[in-house]
Amino acid sequence: MSPLFLILAIVAIVNCKVYVARKNVPMSVSFEEYNKFWNKTHASPAEYEARYLNFLENAKQIDASNKHSKSIGGSARFGFTQFSDMSTREFKNKYLGLIPKHKSPKTDNQKLIEKRSVQQPAGAIDWVAAGKTTAVKNQAQCGSCWAFSATETVESANLISSGSVQNLSPQEIVDCDTSDSGCNGGDPREALGWVQQQGGLDTDACYPYTAQDGTCASSQCTPSATINNVIPVSADEQSIYNQLTTMPLSICCDASQWSNYQGGVLQGSQCGDSVDHAIQLTGYSPSQGGYWIVRNSWGSDWGVNGFIYLQYGANTCDITSEVTGATA
């Protein structure tokens, strides 16, 4: 591991907000402590009971995921997160809002290659350390991941071209991109095309995020940053790596197993290919056999300061499904 990645790993461990249930205490006590840790309240005894049952179910899933990770020699760790009192269906409805419209078809040969051990690139990439990304954002309980992925791609394109950018407005995309469906989901490549067609994206300061669908108010602001080109990337990991050397990328993944993720490298066998979430690919590390560094939009107190690591070379979580870059 390079000194840079070692430092980043140490910082991540120090900064992560993690609730760890005490051993040998009743689950009812753990749930009380969990609620205090995350400052959660409940409107009624019925809601409390429903959340507690979800908490118990997530405890089973966390235990199974950690056992599987250990059995395959993986480093991924799972535990109680801010989402561990939600059911699988509720989590999907509120946080996984991708409606893929440009999923790249794979040939039989590509599928075979994904199942084999492939040679990992040797060179590390870290666009966060290079200062070409904005801070981790939080989409809250709105299926707007696609709008955040697009917004972050526009921000990074402008940081690369000009060296500076104001935080841009995912809410404008949610409200105004009629080709997509706001908090009910959308596609980041469609959104990038909309930004290009509109001549730019407003700032978040002028058009702030509300985590709900609203009436389009683009006319109240002046676009702050735009893009010149939307760049589809071929559906193989070597092509993705090659493009990542020039820019951060919008990607789409199956994130159904991410809600209780707390750190380590998620292996290809630890998630599926039912693509439901859009995020930003910000880097690659050659350590541990190679892994992608993925920036999420669930706040910096999830995962590794808002990031998740995905095994390279196994098409983990179907990371090759829809990959898009942009230049400004």
Q: Does domain 3-141+231-327 have CATH number 3.10.520.10?
A: no
Split at pLDDT 50, 70, 90, the class of 11 is very low
Q: Any catalytic annotation for residue 277?
A: yes
Q: What is the pLDDT of residue 17?
A: 72
Q: Which residues contact 60 (CB under 8 A, 6 or more apart)?
A: none
Q: Between 106 and 267, whose confidence is greater?
A: 267
- From the list 35, 260, 296, 315, the catalytic residue is 296
Reported in sequence order, the residue ranges of the chain that DSSP labels E, i.e. its strands, are 77-78, 125-126, 229-233, 249-253, 261-263, 265-266, 277-285, 291-295, 307-311, 323-327
Rounded to an integer, the average pLDDT of 30-52 is 97
- From the list 35, 54, 58, 145, the catalytic residue is 145
- From the list 35, 183, 271, 277, the catalytic residue is 277
* pLDDT > 60? residue 61: yes
CA quadruple 263, 306, 294, 90: dihedral positive or negative?
A: positive
**Exposed, middle or buried, 225 (CB in 10 Å: 0-12/13-18/19+)?**
buried
